[in-house]
Structure 1
Amino acid sequence: MDDNDLALFAVFNEIGIINQLSSTVFQSRLPDGLLVSHFSVLNHLARLGDGRTPLSIANAFQVPKTTMTHTLGALEKRRLIKMAPNPADGRSKVVVLTEAGQKAREDAIAAMTGPLHRLAEGVGRDALMDLLPRLAALREFLDDNRNI
């Protein structure tokens, strides 16, 4: 391993640490019983739309279907999503975000405005915005190349 390899690893190490720190801050601001993993599913449905099967959501998050089934069950119990018959395939279900689920997502994002403003003040809003296209490109590459 050379210095270049270590520098490349350092990029992912920093991203991992940032993920851990930001998830902890986010989790502390979510309503009781709602986990970051729950919010992530609500956010996924809000961004990409309803009508996704549990398996397709599990694949998107790269978790076993049983894990996603458990997460969806918790969201359904809280009435943040509902399961509906799949119109394309009567054997499977699709996930639909409810109004309560959309509101829970919006409330969670609103709960982060304080920490996000402090972050922008501390690091600089322009510096953060400069990162956005690079981070999006990295995410897109990793999403398109899940088996690299």
Structure 2
Amino acid sequence: MTAAPQDPPLFALLNEVGIIEQLARNRFDAAQADGLLLSHFILLNHLVRVGDGTPPARIASALQLAKGAITNTMQRLEDRGLIRVEPDPEDGRGKRVFLTEAGRARRAAAVASATDALAPLLADLPAGTCDALLPGLRAIRTRLDRARDG
């Protein structure tokens, strides 16, 4: 269900983004031949975006998840050989998370399979729709990221 016409534009926009995310999530999960879950992909994608060597607590904060949820996801990805977790050389109690080559390849394969699954559904949109929307959506995400980080 979409937002009511009288809703403020910001709410209506975020509502549409949320609905798109839910629909895309289901397509993403169905497109993964080996059962890679979106929650696992999100961690792989985060490491590609921000770089290797990120501490688990920083990942949990960025993804707004409990540390236990990140620990569980990391364990599953490590068991599959998609990441490796190493001691933090600067903090003897801490850890750092690194993508393996298999993890980079699996992330790329997930992007390709999700794109293949979603592209036909959006083929009739006007040319350039996604390119036109990205700058504004990135600006909103950047501001929300900054607000989260305080």
Cα distance in 2 for partners of 1:4, 1:142 equals 24
Distance 1:125 1:71, change over 3 A: farther
- TM-score, normalisation: structure 2: 0.89
The 2-side partners of 1:147 and 1:90 are apart by 25
Per-residue deviation, 1:125? 3.4
Q: Confirm or deny: 8 A CA contact 1:120 1:128 kept in the other structure.
A: no
Question: Are residue 99 (structure 1) and residue 101 (structure 2) matched?
Answer: yes
Q: Does 1:118 align with 2:133?
A: no
- 89-98 or 24-33, which moves further after superposition? 24-33
What SS does the aligned partner of 1:13 have? helix
Partner of 1:39: 41
Residue matched to 2:76: 74
| 1:136 pairs with 2:133 | no
Q: For residue 93 of structure 1, give the secondary structure of its aligned residue in structure 2.
A: strand
Please, what TM-score do these two structures have when normalized by structure 1?
0.90
RMSD: 1.9
Match of 1:28 among 17, 24, 30: 30
Q: Could you tell me which residue of structure 1 aligns to residue 17 of structure 2?
A: 15
Q: Quick one: structure 1 residues 147 and 43, their matched pair in 2 at CA, closer, same or farther if it must change by over 3 Å?
A: closer
Counterpart residue identity of residue 18, structure 1: I
Q: For 1:51-93, what per-residue CA distance to the aligned partner results, in whole angstroms no more than 9, with x for missing partners?
A: 0111110000011101110111110111100111111112111
CA distance, structure 1, for counterparts of residue 59 and residue 36 of structure 2: 18
Pairwise CA distance, 1:4: 6.2
| Number of positions where the alignment pairs a residue of Structure 1 with one of Structure 2 | 146
Q: 3-state SS of the aligned residue for 1:122? A: coil
